[in-house]
Amino acid sequence: MSRAAAGYGLGIDTGGTFTDAVAVDPASGRVLAKAKQPTTHHDLSLGMSRAVGDVLASAGLDPARAELVAVSSTLATNSVVEGRGSRVGLFLIGHNKALDLPVVSTVHLRGGHTLDGEEVEPLDLDGLIQGVSEFTGRVEAYAVASAMSFVNPAHELVAAKAISLTDPRPVFCSHQASSQAGIRERAATAVLHARLMPIMGQFLSKVKDTLSNMGFACDMVVVRGDATTMSLDQAGQRAADTVGSGPAATAVFGGRAAPRPDAVLVDVGGTTTDIILLEAGRPCIDDEGSVIGEWQTHVRALEMLTVGVGGDSHVHGPLSGRMLLGPARAAPLALTRGLPDPGAWLGGEAAAMCVLASPAARGREDEDPILRRLLDNGPSTPEALARALRTSAFGLAGRIDDLCRRQLAVKAGFTPTDALHALGRLDFGDREAALRGARALAPAFDLKPEPLCLKVLSMAEDRIEEAILARTLRKETGLGLEGLVADRRRLSRLKVRFTLNAPLVGIGAAATQFLPGVAERLGAKVVFPEHHEVGNAVGAILLALESRS
């Protein structure tokens, strides 16, 4: 039977920098074709359709013969790490203490239940209606958490119904995701679900439409953060469950390829690096609930550590003279079209970034003077924008962040990807743009271009090494020794050196650039399995096929 006539599984991984697609044989798991395309942040479906189209063309595959499609994505994880997400209004019922959560505001209401499920006092419906009125137009989703709702969710259900009758925005209640005590953790879980629901819903709608238009008619599933799968509809309703989706796919792929059952999996992406420890060849699952960003939640997921460093981490800090790396992402100079010469803006006036209007901004210039300025006059530094709009750079920063969150603008700057291009270690982008950026930025840190690039890469390796040690030490000792790991090189009376007694398994296209140096520091071996550069996409479809059988 020809490949075009044979059935196959399709795996897709949408990362911060690249979107990968693979076709595998369902019986053997053999990779039939693979492709990698730049992630198109303003419309994720574009990069996806290009990667899938490349796979179909290279192997002569018929979309109608696909048996299953599995999708993993770092979209939710990166949104949390970068502080992006929808604006959320929180209703907290029967709990008067303030909670530090990523919300526009919190409305405290009387109500709630006892541990026996008895009503403490009636729900404050007047306060609820008033709260919705104040939130309308200011938020994009709602979260509701009520005392003891895991025993009796009545007040959450009434609140959700009342909200929906007034404002047709997504609502997520804590009892939908958690059956455990702890209103702080349940509220955090509800907020993160609500914060990610519009983002994930839009993405998954694009996935379904794009693949359907290409001729795919098979089942489509999404990888959860606990290395299980769910339907596209379920993923849209339980968006926070997709936090760790990429690492879960990583764990499936890396676990199969690891040379030892206690290996350390390291997935180096564009925005984040994920550290996953194997035990007996399998990743550990945190049944009690994972920490997502700064918040303890009840979301079941892999035990892992995600650190905000990757190929696209933004190099900044010229004002202080101290170089900083990430955690925010910037579009690399070498991969961003339409940028003015970095020598004309990078490092000058303490500028470390240039803001561009995204393709999605065309036709929406009336929404914000910043967009109009960018569309009429081209990319600009925040400082130049502030002068042109006669406002402060500080006040402008939040507005630019909001445009970027809505995919209407893009921040570009110098990144480790640019350092690799400038040093001649990567060749798929515009090396000259990276070189000009290195020459412009280096004087801000009293460095020459080559030492600047080497320092950037060394900082990235430092962060990855520290993450591996912190995750391993916590697992081995149960103690939080992150401070010791971070400060060990500055100790004057002690010399602390760690050796990793387990191999590293590198996954992701950038892994080969950073992990050899990290492995040397740790006295460990590093292996890069076949297809490691698209390992998440391979892991996604292997997991889905395994779950189906």
Q: Are residues 99 and 181 in the same domain?
A: yes
Indicate the residue among 389, 419, 450 that finishes a domain.
Answer: 450
Q: Are 99 and 174 part of one and the same domain?
A: yes
In this structure, is residue 32 part of a structural domain? yes
* Average pLDDT value for residue range 424-453: 93
CA nearest to 171, candidates 182, 163, 181: 163
Residues 446 and 471 in one domain: no
Do 127 and 191 belong together in one domain? Answer: yes
Which tokens in the block code for residue 452?
């600047």
Report d(CA 370, CA 368) in Å as an integer. 5
Chain segment 66-75, per-residue pLDDT in tens: 999 999 987 7
Same domain, 98 and 191: yes
159-194 burial, b for 16+ CB within 10 Å, e for fewer? bbebbeeebebbbbbbbbbbeeebbbbbbbbbbbbb
* Sequence-distant (≥ 6) Cβ neighbours of residue 216 within 8 angstroms: 10, 63, 64, 66, 69
515 vs 524: CA distance, rounded Å: 10
> Would you state the pLDDT for residue 293?
57
Residue 226 belongs to a domain? yes
Strand order in the sheet with 105-109: 105-109, 88-93, 141-146, 171-173
For residue 206, being part of any structural domain is answered with: yes
Q: Taking residues 8-28, report their average pLDDT.
A: 92
Residue 235 forms part of a structural domain = yes
Do 146 and 159 meet the contact criterion of CB atoms below 8 Å apart?
A: yes
Of residues 331, 279, 336, 335, the one with CA closest to residue 302:
279
**Local confidence band at 1 (pLDDT 50, 70, 90 cut-offs):** very low
Helices (H), 96-182: 125-135, 154-166
Torsion of the alpha carbons at 416, 420, 421 and 423, rounded to the nearest 10: 130
Q: Is 514 found in the same domain as 467?
A: yes
CA 29, CA 36: separation in Å to the nearest integer? 19
In this structure, the answer to whether residues 430 and 346 fall within a common structural domain is: yes
- Is there a single domain that holds both residue 342 and residue 440? yes
- Kindly state the tokens that stand for 32: 């039939």
**Residues 204 and 69 grouped into a single domain:** yes
In a domain, 3, yes or no: no
Residue 319 pLDDT greater than 70, yes or no: no
Q: Give me the CATH number covering residue 468.
A: 3.30.420.40
Question: pLDDT grade, residue 516 (50/70/90)?
Answer: very high
Cis peptide before 327 (omega within 30 of 0): yes
Average pLDDT of the chain is 88
Query: Which residue range is the domain that position 367 belongs to?
Result: 316-321+330-450
459 and 352 in a common domain: no
The total of structural domains in the chain comes to 4
What 318-325 contacts at long range (C-beta under 8 Å, 24+ apart), as own/partner pairs, is 318/347, 318/350, 318/351, 318/352, 318/441, 318/444, 318/445, 319/350, 321/444, 321/445, 321/446, 323/445, 323/455, 323/456, 323/459, 325/416, 325/456, 325/459, 325/460, 325/463
φ and ψ of 42, to 5 deg: -70, -20
Average pLDDT over residues 51-78: 91
Q: What is the enclosing helix (H) or strand (E) of 67?
A: strand 66-73
Instruction: Please indicate, yes or no, whether residues 167 and 217 belong to a single structural domain of this protein.
Output: no
pLDDT score, position 549: 62
Domain assignment of residue 1, yes or no: no
Name residue, tokens 């690249």.
18
Distance of CA 228 to the CA centre of its chain: 18
Checking if the pLDDT of 2 tops 60, the result is no
- Residue after which a domain boundary falls, among 435, 450, 465: 450
Contact by Cβ (8 Å): 275, 310 = no
Q: Above pLDDT 70, what percent of the chain?
A: 92
Most confident of 61-70, 94-103, 298-307, 310-319: 61-70
pLDDT in tens, 121-136: 999 999 999 999 999 9
User: How many other CB atoms are there within 10 angstroms of residue 279's CB atom?
Assistant: 11
Phi, psi of 257 (to 5 degrees): -100, -10
Residue 509 resides in a domain: yes
- Decide if pLDDT at 459 tops 60: yes
In a domain, residue 301? The reply is yes
**For the purposes of burial, counting CB atoms within 10 Å of the CB of 307, is it exposed (0-12), middle (13-18) or buried (19 or more)?**
buried
Q: Report d(CA 315, CA 271) in Å as an integer.
A: 12
**Of 546, 549, 532, 530, nearest to 223 (Cα)?**
546
68 exposure class (CB count in 10 Å sphere: 0-12, 13-18, 19+): buried
Q: What are phi and psi of 36, to 5 degrees?
A: -140, 130
One domain, residues 185 and 210: no
Q: Output DSSP code: residue 122.
A: -
**Helices assigned H by DSSP within 427-477:** 431-441, 449-477
263-278 pLDDT tens trace:
999 999 888 888 999 9
Alpha carbon distance 87, 195 (integer Å) = 6
Pairing assessment for the beta strands 219-223 and 66-73 based on DSSP bridges? parallel
| Domain end among 387, 422, 450 | 450
The mean per-residue pLDDT over the stretch 500-506 comes to 94
